[in-house]
Amino acid sequence: MTNISEQDFILAAEKLKTIKSEIQAFIVGQDEVIDQMLWTIFSEGHALLEGLPGLGKTMLVKTISEVLDLSFSRIQFTPDLMPSDITGTMMIQPDESGKQKFEFFEGPIFSNIVLADEINRATPKTQSALLEAMGEKTVTIMGDTKAMTKPFFVLATQNPIEMEGTYPLPEAQLDRFTCKINVYYPNRESLKEIIHRTTGVEKPKLKKVMTNEEVVNIQQLVKHIIISDEILDFAVNIIAGTHPTDEGACPSVKSYVQYGSGPRGLQSMINLAKARALFSGRFHVSIGDIKQVAKPILRHRILLNFEGEAAGVSSDRIIDETIEWVQHEGALT
């Protein structure tokens, strides 16, 4: 994009508000989850949704794909799923002259939005089939590299309570996800509204608010959001503060954390903060943006040690204490 004006940012912010309103016309509650999902999409990231069954995770992803008018595919991860079931495979087919030749048949990963449902039910070999696509936006089949469609997002779900028959995602795979978004149980008012919307005769109809090209344009616009050195230093200090070996780390990190976030965590934090700023109608990142995106960015990138696990310490608590330490103690420089 060239010749970007202030009007471009204003129009984009209005469009993003319209998208959220349209999604909320169908999805009840979950405002924070919707925000984090949209921030992730417009910062060119991938999201891991964790929540109990029946909370509407799959429906939310499908709704977003419809509102953004993006192609959608759902992959149900199971222990017998093979990598080729995701990426596609080469098959021998006759050509016009009757000779045999290899022809590539695309798998479901060649969509704008890929829902990896219950991703932790597949084996590590199958899970790793997503790594190249998520990191490089390409898939390599028999030495032939194919580019993914644009835009491309992996939105994966996992159930936090059924551990039997699952394969926990390794740290390398978790780090590919921009965010880990917790989906919580709805309150009483939301439960009543869900019933009104889903058990009656009339059901809300979704409008397509955006096109592929518009999604890509706003992704590029997000990159032009300004971040000052002061705000960048604040983000760097938070990332550095998640490491127990860092001199300025807060006491809880030194006591309970085994490993902290790497550079990809900082990249994700800045990109997501820029997207949040645009959603708020601003052209610059604030400290508030950094604080709001810190938990979804870092909760899956902080690995607790044995003491932390035994004490029942949560990653969210560690993140809160790290931010407070950085902001008020001035321990990191």
pLDDT of residue 331: 42
Q: Pick from 166, 189, 214: which residue ends a domain?
A: 214
The whole domain housing 166 covers 6-214
pLDDT of residue 291: 93
pLDDT of residue 249: 86
The dihedral formed by the CA atoms of 279, 318, 186 and 112, expressed in degrees to the nearest 10: 50
Q: Say if residue 199 is in the same domain as residue 233.
A: no
pLDDT of residue 3: 67
318 pLDDT band, cuts 50/70/90, is very high
At 303, which CATH number? 1.10.8.80
Whole-angstrom distance, CA of residue 273 vs CA of residue 331: 23
Q: What tens digit of pLDDT does each residue of 15-33 get?
A: 888 888 888 877 777 788 8
pLDDT of residue 328: 75
**Mean pLDDT for the stretch of residues 38-55:** 86
pLDDT of residue 191: 78
Q: Total structural domains in the chain?
A: 2
Residue 332 confidence (pLDDT) above 70: no
pLDDT of residue 29: 75
Q: Say if residue 84 is in the same domain as residue 148.
A: yes
Residue 87 confidence (pLDDT) above 50: yes
What is the pLDDT of the chain when averaged over all its residues?
Answer: 84
Tell me the whole-structure pTM to 2 decimals: 0.86
Percentage of the chain lying above the pLDDT 70 cut: 94
Q: What tens digit of pLDDT does each residue of 163-215 get?
A: 666 777 877 778 889 999 988 877 788 778 777 777 766 666 778 888 888 88
- How far is Cα of residue 199 from the mean position of the Cα atoms in its chain? 31
Q: Say if residue 254 is in the same domain as residue 309.
A: yes
Percentage of the chain lying above the pLDDT 90 cut: 26
Residue 1 lies in a domain: no
Q: Pick from 160, 189, 214: which residue ends a domain?
A: 214
**Mean pLDDT for the stretch of residues 299-313:** 90
Q: Say if residue 200 is in the same domain as residue 282.
A: no
Residue 220 lies in a domain: no
Residue 281 lies in a domain: yes
Q: Say if residue 172 is in the same domain as residue 320.
A: no
Contact indicator for 114, 88 with CB cutoff of 8 Å: no
Q: Which helix (H) or strand (E) holds 20?
A: helix 6-24
Q: Say if residue 190 is in the same domain as residue 312.
A: no
**Mean pLDDT for the stretch of residues 233-237:** 94
At 159, which CATH number? 3.40.50.300
Q: What tens digit of pLDDT does each residue of 123-149 get?
A: 888 888 888 788 888 887 777 788 888
Q: Say if residue 305 is in the same domain as residue 188.
A: no
Whole-angstrom distance, CA of residue 192 vs CA of residue 197: 9
pLDDT of residue 268: 93
Contact indicator for 303, 171 with CB cutoff of 8 Å: yes
Between residues 151 and 173, the one the model is more confident about:
151
Between residues 169 and 264, the one the model is more confident about:
264
Q: Say if residue 242 is in the same domain as residue 209.
A: no
Q: Say if residue 267 is in the same domain as residue 205.
A: no
Q: Pick from 162, 181, 214: which residue ends a domain?
A: 214
Those residues with Cβ within 8 angstroms of residue 322's Cβ, 6 or more apart along the chain or in another chain: 238, 241, 242, 249, 250, 252, 253
